[in-house]
Amino acid sequence: MKRLHFVFLFFFAPLCLFAQKQFSGTILDSATKSPISDVIIKIQGKSKGTTSDSLGNFMISATAGDVLNISSNGYSTAHVTLGDNNNISVLLGASVNTTLDQVVVVGYGTQRKVDVTGSVVQIKGAELAKQGVVNPVSGLQGKVPGVNITNTGTPGSSPQINIRGVGSYSSNTAPLYVVDGVWLTDISYLNPNDIESMSILKDASSESIYGVRGANGVVLITTKKGSRRGLTVNYNGSVGVQIANHFPKMANGYEYATMINELTRLTGGTSVLDSSQFGTGTNWFDVASRKAIITSHQVSVSGGSDKSTYNLSLGYLNQDGILKTNTYKRYTLSFSNDINLTNNIKTGYNIIGTYSKSFDPPANIWRGLYTAPPIINPKNADGTYGDPTQYGLGSAVSNPQATLDYNHATTQNYHINGNMYLDISFLKHFKWHSSIGGIYDNTETQTFVPIYQATVNQYSAHTTLTDGKLNTKNWIVENTLTYENKWGDHRFTGLLGQTAYKNNYGESYTTGSDGTITNDPATWYFTSATPGTTYNVTPTNPQTYPAQEKVSSYFGRMSYSYKNKYTFNGTLRADASSKFTANSGRAWLPSFGAAWVVSNEGFMANQKIFDALKLKASWGEVGNSGVPAYVATQQGTSTGSVIYGNSGNISSSQSVASIVPNPLKWEKSIGTDIGIEAAFLQNRLTFEADYYNKKTKDFVFPVPVLGTNGTAASTILTNVGDMVNKGFEVALNWKDNIDENWSYNIGVNASQNTNKFTYSRLENGFVYGGNVSTGGQQGTLTTVGHPVGAFYGYKVIGIFQTQAEVNSYTDANGNLYQPDAKPGDFKYESFTKNGAISGNDRTFIGNPNPKYYYGINMGLRFKSFDLALDFNGVADVDVYNANKGYRYGNENFTEKFYNERWHGEGTSNTNPSVNIGGNQNYYANSWYVESGAYFRLRNAQLGYTLPHELTEKWKIQNLRFYANAQNPFTITKYTGFTPEVGGLPGSMGIDYNTYPLYATYTIGVNLTF
């Protein structure tokens, strides 16, 4: 009998194995017939499963008769019984409750949107990649309410991002980026095409799981993984041109000479220039700028099986700056591998490597182009440089062509980050997750100045080489245990976790001069770095700043839902950081949130208005540990040599570098969020709105200290007060499928934020900041009752037309308000009404913190054509145009100023004479403050996808061509380079040498086979 069983198994078991075969298929939207990615396909009653790729394709090993459960966010689940056909096509229809059925990525896991009690927004990577941005953060502009992005034109630079306002002054203001579990402060290294999704955590309850790193918001990034199907190869390439479209129009040669003659007469001299001989002169923006080429290429290879998946991506970016000689190149490599060791054990890893190199612009070059005299040539006919001193213009102006020609500055960056993980599922409801990750980042800068003589004032008598190094290394280990169970009407998820994090960073600069350093780059080394050579260069002024930070954390979260109607979330995190003394202890940061899905109540069953309606509220605390590493440690600085006693022995000496403050507390952000989510008209219209109140307690400020203390540092960090950001956010989206050929979508989001410093422990209660003009004039003030870094100065109420008007502008006692003023000078309002204008007569003259920012996003599909339009804008915000205020001599002016300047009685009561840099005209005042509001077409893309019937014949899965325009137009009244002006708190919104933005026009192709 046993032998018979053996024979049966021997012959028939292989037949059972052979009965299992590969099934492939495509998942499509039932209305639009467009492919759906990331669809989960599972065999009913088994653990086997897979997901669809970006084209909706999938592959799975199964047996005829098996039932596939096919589900995706926003769609109703489909059940397909497999038969003899190996290739199937599945149409998914929209879910009845699409807005609340979605799953979003949150800290250390995922949650159904119905269970989210805080403010979390998820953006798909495909939406970012479609915009053709170099930095993925730029792709968020105008997409997410409550998120304000400020871009800069410098190739390879990182945009500035503020989530629900500025949350700090001296501490770090950037959000925490978590890329596949690794903590970062910058993601400029990341190729947008490698991103699967981005989740932005905006409120304290969702951020609190990240403790003292979450105060400025958290951006969770998941990179692309492989899919359980056959080999897929994708190529995405584009080429385009970048064109500056907002250069200020400067005065021409004739106009400049006219104004310089006026300035000379106003300052007691005589005219020296014959304005009639200069004509239009030199347009320096035309000389130094160009139509810059940008190219991008990416190839990815992905695939896998039931046991393992992989994804390999290679990227190349070559971006020329609109400034001649300025370039940026980036090479990226990304690889991920996920392995199912058993049904219950999964492991994997991912690695991202980047190398970039840029040829950097000279310091203050845009300021130099703005002020350069148009009456000199870039180069004369004999090959020499045009020299401002030829016309007696002094040393305040220069020849930008010489600045560009003798600029040799480069930056190289080497970056690698990775993560390994292990997941173990056990006892049905438990999952253990362990991960270890880290980064290595090394930035090297090099500047070379040769011996040269371009003009009288532009020269160097020595060759100089300066090398800089910035090195960051960190690792992070995290372990979490998750319990998830559903019984009856109850759903519960619990999480316990631990984090250990260590970060080391250092910065050093070394300078050497002369020796055998020549114009040949082969000689640009220090002798200490090249043993055995004859380069006799002695490195001088070495400076090194090594620092280390350690963080130890424990955290937990629980989520309970009853009948999909009532949800409660709670989080607690305990953090300890080496940046703070032991007396500071651990930061205990709790959060709570609740939600009520009103539309699931019985009394809502027969109403026809809402397809979904959810009310939510949350409260939480998060911290900010972004202070210098050794602020609590007494530091010294080398001050030279000293002789002790009569011995004559010379020893090195040190002095106190800084005062150790009283033990710093964590900056703590306490936030409340109240929101509503709703869907109408068969889920075609969705609506979300939030009110938030975020209070930063124990605000860290740089408080000035007396010079008599003898310290190198002029300030001391200490907790001084509180700040509040509060406002509203709203998002309205409409999506409709007219028929199988037509579909469209329109989305509008808007945010309103009010920033205010509410309490100060300082004796004087204020801090000045922001250099804005000649003489070190500071133009911002942070004080109680006003926004952080508000513009502060004199209020201009007119222009003095005559000396008689100057003499009659007095207080009640006949004292002149502006005794040194001349006709053509600014007339300042006196608030003290007591004698000559002084610092006490200054007032608040503007706010660099935007009150409103918004976005409009539209999409249209007709058959194989698709069109996307993205707009964004900012309102009720000011910019201090310091380009106009920094004047040391004979700098150029704008054409607008030439036409509207005061040049005699009655000619203008708005704009001063050309003597802006004289008398009291350069003082920080309201004339320099302009509206920074703008409305912009952020991105426009038209695409065409070849019909599937055609590409199938060529063995191609997908082929799409597209044309893209980024920033093609901006509507603004601002007269500077760009209304997008960032900066640190206290100096934000000051436009000085800002690299202009530009329009980018590209054509591209996306090919998958």
At which residue do the structure tokens 């960032």 appear? 982
At 438-463, the pLDDT tens digits run 999 999 999 999 999 999 999 998 88
The answer to whether residues 677 and 100 touch, using CB atoms and an 8 Å cutoff, is yes
Section 825-844 average pLDDT: 95
At 250-263, the pLDDT tens digits run 999 999 999 999 99
Residue 530 scores a pLDDT above 50: no
The reply to whether CATH 2.40.110.10 applies to domain 21-92 is no
In sequence order, what DSSP letters do the residues of 476-519 get, joined into one string?
A: EEEEEEEEEEEETTEEEEEEEEEEEEEEEEEEEEEEEESTT--S
Residue 925 scores a pLDDT above 80: yes
Q: Which two tokens stand for residue 672?
A: 């409340």
CATH of 103-227, one of 2.10.109.10, 2.40.50.140, 3.30.70.120, 2.170.130.10: 2.170.130.10
H helices present in 355-499, as ranges: 365-371, 400-405
Q: Which two tokens stand for residue 56?
A: 């909706």
Section 366-393 average pLDDT: 95
Listed in order, strand segments (DSSP E) in 394-456 are: 408-426, 430-449, 452-453
Q: What is the pLDDT of residue 650?
A: 64
At 105-145, the pLDDT tens digits run 888 988 888 888 999 999 988 888 888 889 999 999 999 99
In this predicted model, which residue has the larger pLDDT, 361 or 125?
361
Q: Residue 943: what are its φ and ψ, rounded to 5°?
A: -130, 155
First-to-final CA distance of the chain: 54
Q: What is the pLDDT of residue 4?
A: 40
Q: Which two tokens stand for residue 1006?
A: 């996306």
Domain coordinates of the chain in residue numbers?
A: 21-92, 103-227, 793-846
Q: What is the pLDDT of residue 949?
A: 82
Q: What pLDDT band is residue 528 in, cutting at 50, 70 and 90?
A: very low
At 538-580, the pLDDT tens digits run 334 343 456 788 899 999 999 999 998 999 999 999 998 887 7
At 863-878, the pLDDT tens digits run 999 999 999 999 999 9
At 612-666, the pLDDT tens digits run 999 999 999 998 887 766 666 666 565 555 666 666 666 665 666 566 666 777 7
Nearest to 737 by CA among 680, 682, 679: 682
- The reply to whether 103-227 shares the fold of 21-92 is no
Contacts 24+ apart (CB under 8 A), 71-78: 71/39, 71/40, 72/27, 72/36, 72/38, 72/39, 72/40, 73/38, 73/98, 73/101, 73/102, 73/103, 74/98, 74/101, 74/102, 75/29, 75/36, 75/39
